[in-house]
Every structure is written in C-alpha cells, then in structure tokens.
Amino acid sequence: MSYFGSIGKISYEGKGSDNPLAFKHYNPQEVVLGKTMEDHLRFAIAYWHTFTGTGTDPFGVGTAVRPWDFANPMDTAKARVEANFEFLEKIGVPYYCFHDRDVAPEGSTLQETNKNLDVIADMLEQNMKSSGKKLLWNTANMFTHPRWVHGAGTTSNADVYAYAGAQLKKSLEIGKRLGAENYVFWGGREGYETLLNTDMALELDNLARLFHMCVAYANEIGFDAQFLIEPKPKEPTKHQYDFDAATTIAFLQKYDLQKHFKLNLEANHATLAGHTFDHEIRVAAINGMLGSLDANQGDLLIGWDTDEFPTDLYATTMTMYEVLQAGGIGKGGVNFDAKVRRASFEDEDLFLAHIAGMDSYAWGLKAAAKLIESKALSGFVENRYRSFREGIGADIVAGKASLASLEQYAMQNNPIKNESGRQERLKAIVNEIIFSV
C-alpha cells in the first residue's frame, strides 16, 4: 500500500531548480570538509509529528486527515509504520525517532500495552531490515496519559514511579532490539508548578535514582546506545528540572551520572530558555556533552514551543558552525522535531516542510564550512586572546599565578589598553559568507 502515491523520490536538483519537490542545497553525497553531507547531518524524522500529529492546538482539533488514519488504533499504528518507511525512502532520510506511544497505542493494562508495542516493533524491525533505515533514538512517553499528572521520575506517587520504571525497562528493550544508536530522556512532566506542594530535593534524588536504574539495566541487557537527556526550561510544567544545558550538566555531575549521558539539544527549547541554539551547543561541547540535535525553530513573537521547521539560515549556519567546531555530531544526528503548521494540513506539506528544513541545514553546513575554511572568526578569536599565550597571561593559564603575583604585575602595568570586540564587523563577515553559498 502506498500512502504518498502522487509523490516520487525527492532528488537534488541544485540551486536553479524551481521544482518544489526537489532539494536545492541538500546533496547527500556532496563532500564538505572531507565528509558527505549525509554523514555530517545524519537526518532523522520525528514519528510523533510526521505520522501521529494531526494539527491540534489548544483552541482546535486536528486539521490533517491522513490516509493512515483508521477506526481501529492498531490498524492505524500498522499503517503508520508503512507510511514512515515509504516517507523515509522518498525523502532520502536515513534515520527516524519515536516515543513508544507514538508507534503503538496504550492498552487497558501494561501487559496489553506492551503486547501492542511488540506487534509494532516486529513490523519496525522487518521494515528496517528491508529498507536499511535506522533508528537514531527512541524514548518513552511518560507525559501524555493522565497517570503522569504529577510527573514520572519526579512524581509524588510511588506507584506511578514504579510504572515509569516498568515502562522504561520495556522501552530500553525495544531500543536494543531495534539497534537504536541513542536513547533519549526528555523530562516530560519532570518539574513543578508550585513549591507549596513540592519536595524538590526528593523529586530530584528520585529522578537520579531512575536514571541510575536505566544505566544499570542497559548494561545488563547489553544495550549500548548513547544515553541523552533533553533539556527544556518550561512546558508542560512551569519549572522543568532540566532547564537548559548548564542546569542539566550540573544535575548529572551532582548525581555522578555525567559519564553515562550526553545531551540532546533542541533549538526551540534553547530559545524558550532565553538562549540561542548555538549557545546551548557550545555549553554542551565544552563539557564533552554534545550528543544530538532536535532541529526546529520557535517563534519569538509567540513564545511557546511551536516546533516549526527550521528555515532561518542564520540560525542553521551558527548551529552547524558550532557542530563542526565540536568535531561533528558523532553518534547523534539532526532530528526534525518539527511539525507542519495547522494550516499546512495536506500530505504534500510533510515533504515540502522536510525539504525546507533539510535545505536550510545543508545551507547552514556549507556556510559554516566556509566560515571555518576562511578562519574569519577563529582567527579573530585566537588573536583576541593572545595575551594569555605570553607573559602574565601564560602564567595564569599555566596555573602559576597568585593574587600576589597579579598584584605585582598590575601595580606596574599602567595604563591598561583594551581592543575592540568588532562584533558588527564579524556579523557582516558572517552575512557575506551566508550570502555567498
């Protein structure tokens, strides 16, 4: 059965093409800085937005009626698997990502739910074998069902905590079975609304305990995926515990989990936290914690998690500049955690949106590579900090300075001379390079 019968394989036609169903910049086999675009970007499709999402918003029901929607939830789940692999093939994306509850519906008991999941996992496994498509990451949805009203790993109810453990155990087993290269933990409802009813210390300790159990179980079953925590500052709770990269790293360090986890960073979560995506990537990278990316963009005028497809070339350039400087995305990838707008409800929009996102990232990659080759920024930065390579600066960096030695130096170093940071010039250089791609 074909779900996208009218659409063929999307190919690269280059800059001059006006075919909406073709790539203008994403040319998978094109080599950039010694590696193909495909290997740099490791694109993934987010199952929940592309195959489970319907376009609901807080004010209205779904607008998209998909050809894989049937009356029986298991029939829909099976049809979605077929639609997923057809889509991956046609759009030319090597990976996908899913939550357990995106792919298979909840039953009336945990046993029944696990059975549904097993049926779908069988299908996913077969389709992966025949298509060569891979699982970038899977995760557990522990936020949609009403049982998670007070959280999962940070709930006030031990019975719910136990359920979370059981669900995670199954989810890790599914990840192992499908060869997931990463496993993501996003703190869905791990946060709080008011301190008046919250034991923050216990909640955080319990969350860390659950992560330790996951590490232990993955070891036990030989599941060697890279574990990732995905920060987000708010939504659904007012205060999400994994606020941003820095907060999450501090949490991991406090509970001695830092060697078992890296971060899955999302662009829209970065801006919700009052940061840029490149800031979050830099924080992760300098701490050895850069794991994977959820590619999307928010709308600064709206201010919530809109999960739009990334089209801002400045942002994709700065994102890829950080990724390249960090030495690449490693076992992670660029997952389109993005949904078509409610008004873009036709099936073709799914293709058009991914093409826009993939071309924007390809552009960003090419511009970032040019920035690196030109050394326009790195040369400036190197020069800006040159005072730390000689004299008193070299002593500071070598750990040889004391307050007394700094005083002795400062007393006879008068006046001090500073130099311009040249921000406007640097931004103009970035613009020139983005325009020249």
Interface with ligand XLS (CB under 6 A): 99, 139, 184, 186, 230, 232, 266, 294, 305, 337
Query: Closest CB to ligand XLS among 245 and 369?
Result: 245
The token duo for 243 is 């606020």
Query: Closest CB to ligand XLS among 139 and 167?
Result: 139
Cβ neighbours of residue 104 closer than 8 Å, sequence gap 6 or more: 74, 77, 113, 116, 117, 119, 120, 121
Residue 297: name its binding partner from Ca ion, ligand XLS, none (Cβ under 5 to 8 Å by kind). Answer: none
The token duo for 367 is 């511009």
For residue 244, state whether it binds Ca ion (rule: CB under 5 A): no
- Residue 229 in contact with residue 185, Cβ under 8 Å? yes
Query: Closest CB to ligand XLS among 203 and 266?
Result: 266
For residue 266, state whether it binds Ca ion (rule: CB under 5 A): yes
Residue 251's CB: how many other CB atoms inside 10 A?
A: 22
For residue 86, state whether it binds Ca ion (rule: CB under 5 A): no
Least distance (Å) from Ca ion to the CB of residue 202? 27
Query: Closest CB to ligand XLS among 321 and 361?
Result: 361
Cβ neighbours of residue 174 closer than 8 Å, sequence gap 6 or more: 100, 117, 121, 138
Strand pairing category for 334-336 and 43-46: parallel
Residue 41: closest CA among 91, 83, 7: 91
CA 127 to CA 132: how far, in whole Å? 8
Interface residue with Ca ion among 86, 203, 294, 322 (CB under 5 A) is 294
Radius of gyration of the chain (CA): 24
Query: Closest CB to ligand XLS among 28 and 175?
Result: 175
Residue 139: name its binding partner from Ca ion, ligand XLS, none (Cβ under 5 to 8 Å by kind). Answer: ligand XLS
Query: Closest CB to ligand XLS among 161 and 336?
Result: 336
Least distance (Å) from ligand XLS to the CB of residue 305? 5
CA 336 to CA 117: how far, in whole Å? 23
- Residue 387 in contact with residue 393, Cβ under 8 Å? yes
Which of positions 394-413 make contact with Ca ion (CB under 5 A)? none
Least distance (Å) from ligand XLS to the CB of residue 154? 15
Least distance (Å) from Ca ion to the CB of residue 184? 8
Least distance (Å) from ligand XLS to the CB of residue 230? 5
Total binding residues for Ca ion by CB under 5 A? 6
Could you tell me which stretch among 3-11, 25-33, 99-107, 299-307 binds Ca ion (CB under 5 A)?
299-307
Residue 86: name its binding partner from ligand XLS, Ca ion, none (Cβ under 5 to 8 Å by kind). Answer: none
Strand pairing category for 35-36 and 31-32: antiparallel
CB contact burial 188-223 (16+ within 10 A = b; e otherwise): bbbbbeeeeebeeeebbebbbebbeebeebbeeeeb
Least distance (Å) from Ca ion to the CB of residue 322? 18
Least distance (Å) from Ca ion to the CB of residue 264? 7
Least distance (Å) from ligand XLS to the CB of residue 296? 8
Query: Closest CB to ligand XLS among 47 and 363?
Result: 47
Which of positions 318-347 make contact with Ca ion (CB under 5 A)? 337
The token duo for 392 is 């008193």
Question: Which residues are annotated as catalytic?
Answer: 99, 102
DSSP string, 204-257: HHHHHHHHHHHHHHHHHHT--PEEEEE--SSSSSSEESS-SHHHHHHHHHHTT-
Query: Closest CB to ligand XLS among 99 and 282?
Result: 99
CA 215 to CA 217: how far, in whole Å? 6
For residue 359, state whether it binds Ca ion (rule: CB under 5 A): no
Cβ neighbours of residue 212 closer than 8 Å, sequence gap 6 or more: 255, 257
DSSP code at position 388: G
DSSP code at position 52: I
For residue 305, state whether it binds Ca ion (rule: CB under 5 A): yes
Residues that bind Ca ion (CB under 5 A): 266, 268, 294, 305, 307, 337
